[in-house]
Amino acid sequence: MNFSYKVYSALFLLTAAWCAGIVAAPFLRTLDLSVLSSLLYSIYSHVCHQFDSRSFHVGGEPLGVCIRCTAIYGGFVLSLAAYPFLRRQHRSVAPSPWILAVFLAPMAADVFLNLSGLMNSTNLSRLLSGISCGLALPYYLVPPLTEAIHQIAHSRGGWFHARETR
């Protein structure tokens, strides 16, 4: 197994676990495992506002994050699953920034139009703009992350080498 694949696999497993926690939070609450559920909601509260009216619900309980965040993470994990089939993992160059701008434009427009009062965001617009964002991100995050970890791991002495000072 080559180094790039190891980095990709670790990222995919961490992302899948993160997404599983989003869905697990309401399930754990409905199963009377409120301590674990509360822990997950608390963790996700650091990355999302968790407004009830802007969240999908399972069993009457909101997911760990809002619809837009759910869509971003869901789009990210789906795109990450497709990544090895669409892109060579040893390639360390991200696509053109203009492509990223196209995928981020729906979210920017949704937020701008809502904040300016020209149009109210809806749960559907949050969902679609979040998916668009999430689908693009792996192609811009995996190459530099792989390169950075490769440089750290293969620098003089490896991961845990204490460098001498002169």
What pLDDT does 157 receive?
Answer: 59
Question: What is residue 2's predicted lDDT score, i.e. its pLDDT?
Answer: 80
State residue 92's pLDDT score: 65
- The per-residue pLDDT for 148 is 87
pLDDT for the residue 150: 84
pLDDT digit string (tens) for the chain, length 166 residues: 687 888 899 999 999 999 999 999 999 998 889 899 999 999 999 999 999 999 999 989 999 999 999 999 999 999 999 998 887 655 667 889 999 999 999 999 999 999 999 999 999 999 999 999 999 999 999 988 988 888 888 875 555 555 555 5
Contacts of 44-48 with CB under 8 Å at 24 or more apart are none
Rounded to 5 degrees, φ, ψ at 48 are: -150, 150
d(CA 131, CA 80): 13
DSSP state letter for 87: S
* Tokens, residue 142: 């995996």
